[in-house]
Amino acid sequence: MGAELVVNAFIAAVGRKDLDAALALVAADCYYDNVPLGEMRGTEKMREFLAPIFAGEGALEFEILRQTCTGNRVMNERIDRFVMKGRQIALPVVGVFEVNEGKITFWRDYFDNGMFMKALAGE
């Protein structure tokens, strides 16, 4: 499966709130950097970080606005929509992914943490 298809399948699994299916597309030693919040390595750390979002109330969606793929690198601009602490969040994000041997080996998301905190506060 090509890099863009792997990332698209990952995003589809996110939309289904299927954490197991999403992480099945991620290499065991994947480097994940959620830029304002910190970096981690490995699917177990990713599971710990992502599980509360996947288990939260309401829908979880990564709406892709633009996406490009060159070789094994995929970049997308998207709106991440989810509910946290009873608040509907719609957060603009830019994601960078690298895929090797059919698995995501690198994932970095950029977003404005100030915007996220305001949305969480209901501002």
Helix, strand or coil for residue 25?
coil
Which pLDDT value is given to residue 92?
97
User: Alpha-carbon torsion 37, 41, 43, 48, what sign?
Assistant: negative
Number of domains in the chain: 1
Who wins on pLDDT, 115 or 63? 63
Domain containing 20 equals 3-121
Residues sharing a CB contact under 8 Å with residue 97, sequence separation 6 or more, in sequence order: 3, 7, 10, 73, 74, 75, 76, 104, 106, 107
List the catalytic residue out of 18, 20, 29, 109. Answer: 109
Cα separation, 37 vs 111, in Å, equals 10
List the catalytic residue out of 18, 29, 33, 80. Answer: 80
Who wins on pLDDT, 34 or 121? 34
Which pLDDT value is given to residue 104?
98
CATH number of the domain enclosing 37? 3.10.450.50
Does residue 80 have an active-site annotation? yes
Who wins on pLDDT, 65 or 58? 65
Which pLDDT value is given to residue 116?
86
As a whole number of Å, the CA-based R_g of the chain is: 14
Please report the DSSP string for 26-74 in residue order: EEEEEEEEETTTEEEESHHHHHHHHHHHHHSSS--EEEEEEEEEETTEE
Q: Which two tokens stand for residue 44?
A: 């177990």
Q: Are 5 and 25 in contact (CB under 8 A)?
A: no
Segment 65-115, tens digit of pLDDT: 999 999 999 999 999 999 888 888 999 999 999 999 999 999 999 999 888
> In the predicted model, what is the mean pLDDT of residues 49-59?
89
Does residue 109 have an active-site annotation? yes
Q: Is the pLDDT of residue 1 over 80?
A: no
